[in-house]
């Protein structure tokens, strides 16, 4: 048997984070909204309506293209890609065919083992990035199919790679790095749970040392890294068995679906070709033109790449895993950045965010509070309203209830007692109640002081400011 090599290329669809949809003014944030409430005649494809390209989406797609080292094409056209399906009311998708937004580029990726050790560094070439709009969503219930068009018209970037990946591990490591780039460019929230990033993976085999690409199997619509990994592993094994049986590669391209529950692929059909879609220029949208200056102006505003951000976090003193956690989880990163901005103390910030907050989020399975709420909590600790200890309780309650720090402190009466008069009163009470401790302190037993401070803390239900209690107690005993 000849030694075989696996050849993988990906097509990635990323939903863009824009205020409105790709060609109309509908709200682009349809998640959790009532079906068919964020729609209009344009995204429903009514005849006679005119699509208008979304400038914010174009700007973010250009940033992404530049971040993956693509070349922006100065001439850009939109095309109609035709197919009939109930999730696509106009009967065509507005996409880009022979004049895409950008061509070429590459993404560097790193494969690590569970302990974070680098196993392999690789580069995956990018073929193109183009813009298009998404279809609606179908839900099948028995013999009935429900159509929700809220997602119809959502801006998408489709990113196509070269067949440069040689294993499922490489494909996943590449896809994860691409996701970080989308997030860093603020081009997509790339929330896998909400299906904002989806993969079609093409896989074929060839004899090692040969260059020719054999017919491929295209696995459609994988929407998690786990599914991408499992589907590629499964299909690779299946193609190897077929090769053994038939003595060679697939006779022609095929399209397969991934059955998540059964953990196997299923052949759907021979793969469709461009001819099947009858692409033609979208007559309602004039070609877009970008000058070199337009592109350079956008390049100047490019945010730092995820690997640069990771480096910055490591320079602040975070370890590799913590830094990766931040560039992988945009909501945590926003909170971390805002709190660090306030405290300028990376160790304290990571303790609060990556240990306490992440712990509570895991335990409660809730969403993270707003960055603003977290900053407010830190302010309450810094200005002495609550102790750092009480801060932990407040944070837990913030996660559980979704309320702000000040609401919780107010409602639960958790304010720290820092008022001199109130503390003096408490300290006097402690002295009166603990004559033996006072006696032994006066006889030189320093540790006895701790017992008295402890009594005050207990009496005040942990709300007395311990530093103040110490200070006033010492003064009184002199
Ligand atoms: Zn609309
Ligand atoms: Mn597409």
- Asked if residue 192 belongs to a domain, the reply is yes
Q: How far is the CA of 50 from the centre of ligand 1 (A)?
A: 11
Among 111-115, 267-271, 347-351, 408-412, name the one with the lowest average pLDDT: 267-271
How many independent structural domains does the chain possess? 3
For 290, the enclosing helix (H) or strand (E) is none
Q: What is the CATH number of the domain that holds 459?
A: 1.10.10.410
Q: What percent of the chain has pLDDT over 90?
A: 75
69 plus 14 within the same structural domain: yes
At 418, is the pLDDT very low, low, confident or very high (cuts 50, 70, 90)? confident
Q: How far is the CA of 159 from the centre of ligand 2 (A)?
A: 9
Q: How far is the CA of 242 from the centre of ligand 2 (A)?
A: 29
385 plus 433 within the same structural domain: no
Q: How far is the CA of 299 from the centre of ligand 2 (A)?
A: 25
Q: How far is the CA of 468 from the centre of ligand 1 (A)?
A: 61
C-alpha to C-alpha distance for 132 and 70, rounded to whole angstroms:
18
Q: How far is the CA of 89 from the centre of ligand 2 (A)?
A: 16
405 plus 277 within the same structural domain: no
**Residue 1: pLDDT over 80:** no
Q: How far is the CA of 296 from the centre of ligand 2 (A)?
A: 27
- 33: which 2 tokens? 């909204």
C-alpha to C-alpha distance for 78 and 84, rounded to whole angstroms:
19
Beta strands in 211-365, from DSSP E residues, in sequence order: 217-222, 254-259, 264-270, 280-281, 288-289
- Give the mean model confidence (pLDDT) for residues 240-262: 93
85 plus 22 within the same structural domain: yes
In the three-class reduction of DSSP (H, G, I as helix; E, B as strand; rest coil), residue 123 is classed as: strand
**Residue 271: pLDDT over 80:** no
Strands 254-259 and 217-222: parallel
The predicted structure's pLDDT at residue 236: 97
Q: How far is the CA of 158 from the centre of ligand 2 (A)?
A: 6
243 plus 97 within the same structural domain: yes
The predicted structure's pLDDT at residue 250: 93
CA 71 from centroid of its chain's CA atoms: 25
Among left, alpha and beta (phi > 0; psi -120 to 50; other), residue 331 is alpha
- Asked if residue 51 belongs to a domain, the reply is yes
Mean pLDDT over the full length of the chain: 93
265 plus 159 within the same structural domain: yes
Q: How far is the CA of 130 from the centre of ligand 1 (A)?
A: 21
402 plus 433 within the same structural domain: no
Q: How far is the CA of 426 from the centre of ligand 1 (A)?
A: 65
**Residue 306: pLDDT over 90:** yes
pLDDT tens-place string over residues 150-177: 999 999 999 999 999 999 999 999 999 9
Q: How far is the CA of 132 from the centre of ligand 2 (A)?
A: 7
Among left, alpha and beta (phi > 0; psi -120 to 50; other), residue 382 is alpha
DSSP codes of every residue in 128-164: EEEEEE---EEEEETTEEEEE-TTTT-EEEEEEE-S-
Which ligand has its closest atom nearest to the C-alpha of 97?
Answer: 2
Of 294, 328, 348, the residue that ends a domain is 294
At 345, is the pLDDT very low, low, confident or very high (cuts 50, 70, 90)? very high
pLDDT tens-place string over residues 62-96: 999 999 999 999 999 999 999 999 999 999 999 99
Of 294, 316, 342, the residue that ends a domain is 294
Q: Give the C-alpha distances (Å, rounded to integers) separating 160 from 8, 13, 205.
A: 11, 9, 19
**Domain limits for position 270:** 4-294
**Residue 349: pLDDT over 90:** yes
- Asked if residue 146 belongs to a domain, the reply is yes
Of 411, 434, 464, the residue that ends a domain is 411
Q: How far is the CA of 287 from the centre of ligand 2 (A)?
A: 19
398 plus 451 within the same structural domain: no
- Asked if residue 299 belongs to a domain, the reply is no
Phi, psi for residue 440 in degrees, rounded to 5: -70, -30
- Asked if residue 212 belongs to a domain, the reply is yes
C-alpha to C-alpha distance for 321 and 336, rounded to whole angstroms:
15
In the three-class reduction of DSSP (H, G, I as helix; E, B as strand; rest coil), residue 19 is classed as: coil
340 plus 472 within the same structural domain: no
Which ligand has its closest atom nearest to the C-alpha of 95?
Answer: 2
Q: How far is the CA of 290 from the centre of ligand 1 (A)?
A: 26
The predicted structure's pLDDT at residue 384: 82
311 plus 227 within the same structural domain: no
Q: How far is the CA of 360 from the centre of ligand 1 (A)?
A: 39
In the numeric block, the tokens 């299906």 are attached to 195
The predicted structure's pLDDT at residue 272: 67
At 106, is the pLDDT very low, low, confident or very high (cuts 50, 70, 90)? very high
Which ligand has its closest atom nearest to the C-alpha of 89?
Answer: 1
Which ligand has its closest atom nearest to the C-alpha of 100?
Answer: 2
368 plus 460 within the same structural domain: no
Which ligand has its closest atom nearest to the C-alpha of 12?
Answer: 2
**Residue 274: pLDDT over 70:** no
At 446, is the pLDDT very low, low, confident or very high (cuts 50, 70, 90)? confident
Decide if 98 contacts 133 (C-beta within 8 A).
Answer: no
Q: How far is the CA of 70 from the centre of ligand 2 (A)?
A: 18
- Asked if residue 424 belongs to a domain, the reply is yes
Q: How far is the CA of 286 from the centre of ligand 1 (A)?
A: 20
27 plus 152 within the same structural domain: yes
Helical pair 306-316 and 168-184, crossing angle rounded to 10 deg:
80
């Amino acid at each position: 048997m000849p030694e075989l090599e696996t050849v993988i290329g990906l097509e990635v669809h990323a939903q863009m984070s824009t205020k409105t949809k790709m060609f109309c003014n509908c709200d682009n944030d349809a998640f959790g909204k009532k079906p068919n409430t964020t729609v209009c005649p344009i995204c429903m494809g009514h005849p006679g309506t005119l699509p208008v390209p979304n400038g914010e989406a174009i700007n973010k797609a250009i940033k992404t293209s530049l971040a993956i080292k693509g070349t922006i094409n100065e001439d850009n056209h939109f095309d109609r890609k035709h197919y009939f399906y109930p999730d696509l009311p106009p009967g065509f998708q507005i996409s880009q065919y022979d004049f895409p937004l950008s061509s070429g580029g590459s993404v560097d990726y790193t494969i690590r083992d569970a302990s974070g050790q680098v196993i392999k560094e690789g580069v995956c070439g990018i073929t193109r990035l183009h813009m298009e709009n998404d279809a609606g969503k179908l839900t099948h219930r028995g013999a009935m199919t429900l159509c929700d068009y809220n997602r119809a018209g959502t801006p998408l970037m489709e990113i196509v790679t070269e067949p440069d990946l040689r294993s499922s591990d490489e494909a996943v490591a590449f896809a994860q790095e691409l996701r970080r780039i989308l997030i860093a460019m603020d081009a997509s929230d790339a929330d896998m749970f909400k299906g904002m990033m989806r993969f079609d993976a093409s896989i074929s085999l060839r004899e090692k040392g040969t260059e020719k690409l054999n017919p491929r199997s295209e696995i459609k619509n994988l929407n998690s890294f786990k599914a991408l990994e499992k589907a590629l592993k499964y299909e690779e094994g299946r193609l190897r068995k077929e090769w053994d049986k038939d003595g060679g590669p697939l006779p022609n391209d095929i399209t397969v679906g991934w059955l998540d529950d059964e953990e196997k692929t299923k052949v759907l059909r021979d793969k469709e070709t461009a001819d099947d879609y009858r692409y033609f220029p979208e007559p309602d949208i004039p070609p877009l033109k970008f000058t070199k200056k337009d592109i350079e102006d956008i390049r100047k505003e490019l945010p730092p790449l995820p690997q640069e951000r990771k480096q910055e976090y490591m320079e602040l003193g975070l370890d590799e895993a913590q830094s990766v956690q931040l560039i992988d989880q945009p909501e945590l990163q926003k909170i971390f950045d805002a709190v660090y901005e306030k405290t300028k103390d990376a160790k304290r910030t990571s303790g609060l965010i990556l240990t306490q907050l992440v712990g509570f989020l895991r335990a409660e399975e809730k969403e993270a509070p707003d960055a603003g709420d977290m900053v407010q909590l830190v302010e309450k600790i810094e200005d002495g309203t609550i102790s750092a200890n009480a801060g932990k309780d407040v944070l837990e309650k913030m996660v559980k209830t979704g309320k702000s720090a000040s609401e919780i402190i107010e409602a639960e009466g958790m304010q720290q007692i820092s008022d001199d008069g109130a503390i003096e009163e408490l300290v006097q009470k402690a002295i009166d109640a603990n004559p033996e401790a006072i006696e032994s302190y006066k006889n030189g037993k320093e540790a006895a002081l701790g017992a008295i401070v402890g009594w005050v803390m207990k009496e005040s239900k942990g709300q007395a400011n311990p530093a103040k209690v110490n200070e006033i107690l010492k003064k009184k005993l002199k």
